[in-house]
Amino acid sequence: MIDSICPCCGADISGYKNKEFEKKLIHALRHTEPKITQQAVYILGRLKSIRAVKSLIKLFEQTDDALLKMKILDSLSEIGTPETRNFIIKVLIQTWA
C-alpha cells in the first residue's frame, strides 16, 4: 500500500499514485527536503530526462546551494541535449567572466 502522506514533509501525495515516475521526479525538484531534491536531480540526469530540462534549469537559477548547482549541472550534462550544453557553457562563461 502506498502512503498518502509524504513521510518527509507531511504533504498529501495521494494524487501521485497514477502519475508517471518521471513526472513524480520533476515534481520532487520542488520538495522541501534537500536530500529528496538532490536524489530527484540525480535520477533525472541518469534517466536522461529531456522533459526535466526546463525544471532543472529553473531550479539552478533559483537556488543558492552550490552543491545542488553542481549536481544540476552534472545531470544536465548527462542529459546532453543542445539546450543543456548551451546552458552549461553559459554558466561557465558567467563564472569565469
- For residue 41, is pLDDT > 60? yes
**pTM confidence score:** 0.86
d(Cα 26, Cα 87) in Å, to the nearest integer? Answer: 19
Confidence at residue 1, expressed as pLDDT on a 0 to 100 scale: 47
User: Mean pLDDT of all residues in the chain?
Assistant: 89
- Using pLDDT thresholds of 50, 70 and 90, give the confidence band for residue 95: confident
d(Cα 97, Cα 54) in Å, to the nearest integer? Answer: 24
Alpha-helix runs per DSSP H in 1-97? 21-28, 34-46, 53-62, 66-79, 82-96
What domains, with CATH codes, occur in the chain? Answer: 19-96 (1.25.10.10)
Grid coordinates given for 59: 531550479
Confidence at residue 5, expressed as pLDDT on a 0 to 100 scale: 62
Grid coordinates given for 44: 533525472
For residue 68, which of 58, 81, 82 has the smallest C-alpha distance?
58
- Using pLDDT thresholds of 50, 70 and 90, give the confidence band for residue 97: confident
Condensed to tens digits (0 to 9), the pLDDT of residues 60-88 reads: 999 999 999 999 999 999 999 999 999 99
